[in-house]
Amino acid sequence: MAVTPAGIRPTQRPGVGRLLRSPMLDPVWAVLVALACGAIVLLLTGHDPILAYREWIERAILRPRGIQETIVRATPLLFAGAAVLLALRAGVWNIGIDGQVLAGALVAAVVASGLVHQPKVVMWVGAAVAGIIAGAVWAAIPALLRGRFGINEIVTSIMFNYIAVSMTAWLVKGWLGDPDVVLPQTRLIPVDHRLVTFGETRVHIGLIVAVILVVVLGAFFSRTVAGYEIKAIGASPRAAAHGQIPVDVSITVILIGSGAIAGLAGVNDVLSTKGAFQAEWNPAYGFVAFALVFLGQRSIIGLIPAALVFGQLSYAADVMPRAADVAPAFFDVIEGALMIALAVSVWARSASSGRIRFGSRGGGGDV
Amino acid sequence: MNVELVITTLLATALLSAVPLALASVGEALGERAGLLNLGTEGMMLLGAFSGFWVALKSGSLGLGLLTGAVIGLVCGLAFGLIAVVVGADQVLLGLGFTLAGGGLTAFLFRESFGSRQPLLAESMGRPFRGVADAVPIVGQAILGQAWFFYLAWIIVAGAALGLKYTTFGLRIRAVGDAPDAVDTLGISVRATRVYAAMCAGTLAGLAGASLSIVEVGFFQPNVTHGIGFIAIALAMLGRWNPTRIALMAILFGMLRGLGSGLQLADVPVQSDFVQLLPYIGVVIALVVTSRGISLPAALGVTWTRRK
């Protein structure tokens, strides 16, 4: 022990124990806990977890195909994660992502099939704009209900998710469906009209758009007054109201903006991997997007590695039934366990800055 | 079309469809009264539905299945309560995690147990008042012709209503949700009361799931609840956390839920995708109509720590 003069503390040495407990490693611990939970489930159901995990690594992670597919599936999740994060920065939970994705996807599919004889770029931009508007409109209903009547957006947006599933199915089975095919789906976009891919891979330019969006979002929060105001609302609605920020209007606009970004996730899928909107298709990006945002420690840049983690889980769910006879639902267990582990870890404790608001129409909101 | 038969069938399916809604929603209300927002109700219902169905199928005893669902729900509620109250985790994220994990685990275990088979419960539940049901026209079969659990479920709901209003424990639950600091000054543990409330909520959610799979449909399939857990959360708010009002709301929404199958049973042609929309749209409309002036439990969603 070094002898230190009174009043002067020795500088803290970086020990291994301290490093392992640093908040930076919380996401790593959460992933390990989730994988351990998964291993226990496998063990209890008579699988060999070591064998299954080895197959997973070999077939879904190490092969070039696995890396490609991880990126392809991470792309819509990046949009969805950005949508969640935008709202969460203002302290608002947009749980209506699923419905907004479906609305964006259906409208984009219909517009794209209408513009199929136009130049490709016209079709893509037209479909994207339509999808953005559709996602925004779908988010606008719960957003306006919150802004106008003070009805908590968590419950209404979940209701709108279920409404979207049934309503899109109903529309596609009816007058939006392609009458020439048996399956209830919109008119298929020809493969040469889908989003351009990089060389022979399946990775497409949607990824570039998603990354640009993340960069723009980062700049928005760090460089603009509006971004600062959103963070101020998230930190304390009451203080923000005192600072002349119109809290109710801002929250409504933020939810609509969040829905617009979520709509892009639907556009991305329709224009690339799906090619059409099929009745009852529901990728359910919503809950996953929350887990993703918290895995990225609610930082903008953290969205990208977190999206890759969930992109990989999505691909693994496709590969593992054949590779190791593990049903796709196993990866929902991993994702759920990951979400609970993230909720437990330290920095999630301060996640929702305020108390949950139902009924009462609070001008500044209560914290 | 036999109008009398249509009315009887619709009423019977409405009352039966209301049971899981009422149980889960009253449970959610108990939790929310104590300050806990449990968005994991859907997942806990699925775990109760699967475990209850599995035990009922293997043992042949429907009662044992329902009990299993309730016990699994109790364990889930305990876990949720401990993580939310003692660790202080964010309740929204935690609840969504429970829903995701519960849905995934039950789908996974269902496939592990039954592969692509879809087993049905062979036995149907005893109907204690069936003999006298025909004596009362139209409503007789709907009210008196139900399985025994139907009556037990409404007794549980009534018990919860009375317990919350008249017992010390009920008072404590209401108090920790509105004024935890005041409760603490009286030397009553805020945390323990909240964990107990979470256990009640979990038990009722698990029982609600088991009643869905065992009593109402007689089978399990992945995501069989299809959002009932979330509707239950909305009903708790619509019924203003009062079990009696919630029970009435549950019957109203049970009617919307049961409309599709009720009309099908009565041979009325319907567009199924459209009928499925009704409960969800109904919740939104009801919220718009009744939302003004709802004052929610003051400490809902806030982790309590003693002020220094």
Q: Is A281 or B24 the better-scoring residue by pLDDT? A: B24
pLDDT for position A356: 45
Q: Which pLDDT score, from 0 to 100, does residue A14 have?
A: 61
Mean pLDDT score across all residues of chain B: 89
CA distance B276 to chain A (A): 7
Q: Which DSSP category does A4 fall into? A: -
Mark residue A338 as left, alpha or beta (left: phi above 0; alpha: psi -120 to 50; beta: remaining).
alpha
Chain B touched by A344 (CB under 8 Å): yes
- Does residue B21 sit at the A interface (CB-CB below 8 Å)? no
Residue B299 near chain A (CB below 8 Å): yes
- pLDDT, tens digit, 9 for 90 and up, residues A93-125: 899 999 999 999 999 999 999 999 999 999 999
- Helix, strand, coil percentages for chain A (3-state, nearest 5): 70, 0, 30
pLDDT score for A363? 33
The answer to whether A293 and A303 have CB atoms below 8 angstroms apart is: yes
- Angle between helix axes B228-238 and B3-33 (nearest 10 degrees) is 70
pLDDT at residue A345, rounded to an integer: 81
Is A349 part of the contact surface with chain B (CB cutoff 8 Å)?
Answer: yes
Question: Which residues of chain A are within 8 Å of residue B37 when distances are taken between CB atoms?
Answer: 356
Q: In this predicted model, what pLDDT tens digit does every residue of B220-237 receive, in sequence order?
A: 999 999 889 999 999 998
Could you tell me if residue A146 is inside a domain? yes
Looking at residue A201, the DSSP 8-state letter turns out to be S
Interface A-B: count of C-beta contacts within 8 A:
181
Give the closest-approach CA distance of A101 to chain B in angstroms: 18
Min Cα distance A287 → chain B (Å) is: 7
The whole-angstrom separation of Cα B14 and Cα A97 is 31
Domains and CATH numbers, chain B: 3-116+139-290 (1.10.3470.10)
Burial class of residue A175 in the structure, from the number of CB atoms within 10 Å of its CB (0-12 exposed, 13-18 middle, 19+ buried): exposed
In a domain, A360, yes or no: no
Q: Is residue A179 part of a domain?
A: yes
| Chain B nearest-CA residue for A46 | B112
| Residue range A6-32: mean pLDDT, rounded | 72
Decide if A155 and B230 are in contact by the 8 Å CB cutoff: yes
Work out the pLDDT band at B13, boundaries 50, 70, 90: confident
In a domain, A178, yes or no: yes
- Nearest CB partner across the interface for B101, out of A46, A160, A333: A333
Question: Is A198 in CB contact (< 8 Å) with chain B?
Answer: no
Q: Is the pLDDT of residue A195 over 60?
A: yes
Residues 162-181 of A with CB under 8 A from B: 162-163, 166-167, 169-170, 173
Any B CB within 8 A of A292 CB: no
Of B83, B108, B273, the CB nearest to A169: B273
DSSP-assigned states of every residue in B69-137: HHHHHHHHHHHHHIIIIII---HHHHHHHHHHHHHHHHHHHHHHHHTT------S----TTHHHHTTST
Q: Is the pLDDT of residue A2 over 50?
A: no
pLDDT in tens, B242-262: 999 999 999 989 988 877 776
> Measured between CB atoms, which of B37, B96, B302 is closest to A287?
B96
Domain assignment present for A35: no
From B179's Cα to the closest Cα of chain A, the distance in A is: 14
Beta bridge partners of A204: A197
**pLDDT-derived band at A88, boundaries 50, 70, 90:** very high
Tell me, what's the pLDDT at A360? 34
Residue of chain B whose alpha carbon sits nearest to that of A158: B230
pLDDT tens across B181-214, in order? 999 999 999 999 999 999 999 999 999 999 999 9
Of B105, B273, B303, the CB nearest to A333: B105
* pLDDT score recorded for residue A353: 40
Contacts of residue A175, Cβ cutoff 8 Å, sequence gap at least 6: none
CA–CA distance, A351 with B89 (Å, rounded to integer):
9
User: Is residue A29 in some structural domain?
Assistant: no
- Partners of A151 on chain B (C-beta within 8 Å) are 287-288, 291
Q: How far apart are CA A257 and CA A327, in angstroms?
A: 36
A34-87 pLDDT per residue, tens: 999 999 999 999 999 999 999 999 999 999 999 999 999 999 999 999 999 999
Closest CB to B284 among A156, A327, A342:
A156
> Residue length, chain B?
308
- What band does B279 get if pLDDT is binned at 50, 70 and 90? confident
pLDDT surpassing 50 at residue B69 = yes
Residue A13 has pLDDT above 80, yes or no: no
Q: Is residue A194 part of a domain?
A: yes
Asked if B100 lies within 8 A of A291 by C-beta distance, the reply is yes
Higher pLDDT, B135 or B43: B43
Does B78 contact A at CB distance below 8 Å?
A: no
Compute the nearest-CA separation of B278 from chain A (Å).
8
Closest CA in chain B for residue A151: B291
**Chain B touched by A93 (CB under 8 Å):** yes
The conformational region for residue B115 under phi > 0 = left, psi -120 to 50 = alpha, else beta, is: left
Contact criterion met (CB below 8 Å) for B89 and A348? yes
Distance CA B62, CA A244 (A): 61
Q: Which tens digits make up the pLDDT trace of A217-271? A: 999 999 999 999 999 998 888 899 998 888 888 989 999 999 999 999 999 999 9
Burial zone of B239 (CB within 10 Å; 0-12 exposed, 13-18 middle, 19+ buried):
buried
Nearest partner of A315 among A8, A64, A132, judged by Cα:
A64
Q: Are A105 and A317 in contact (CB under 8 A)?
A: no
pLDDT bucket at A347, cuts 50 / 70 / 90? low
Residue A107: the pLDDT is: 97
Check CB contact under 8 Å for B83 and A344.
Answer: yes
Q: How far is CA B5 from CA A256, B142, B256, in A?
A: 47, 10, 18
Task: Specify the amino acid at residue A257.
Answer: G
| Residues making up chain A, counted from first to last | 367
Give how far Cα A166 sits from Cα of A66, A161, A260, A281, B21, Å.
33, 9, 21, 10, 20
CB within 8 Å: A145 and B288: yes
Question: What end-to-end distance do the CA atoms of chain B give, in Å?
Answer: 71
Task: Determine the distance in angstroms separating the CA of B109 from the nearest CA of chain A, rounded to an integer.
Answer: 8
pLDDT at residue A6 greater than cutoff 70: no
Residue A202 belongs to some domain of the structure = yes
Residue A290 — φ and ψ, nearest 5°? -65, -45
Owning domain of residue A178: 76-302
Count up the domains in chain A and report the number: 1
CA distance B43 to B73: 10
Q: Are A62 and A69 in contact (CB under 8 A)?
A: no
User: What is the band of B266 on the pLDDT scale with cuts at 50, 70, 90?
Assistant: low
Nearest to B108 among A150, A288, A327 (CB): A327
Q: Do B296 and A336 touch (CB under 8 A)?
A: no
Q: What is the pTM of this model?
A: 0.90
Residue A346: pLDDT band (50, 70, 90) is low
ipTM of predicted assembly, 2 dp: 0.90
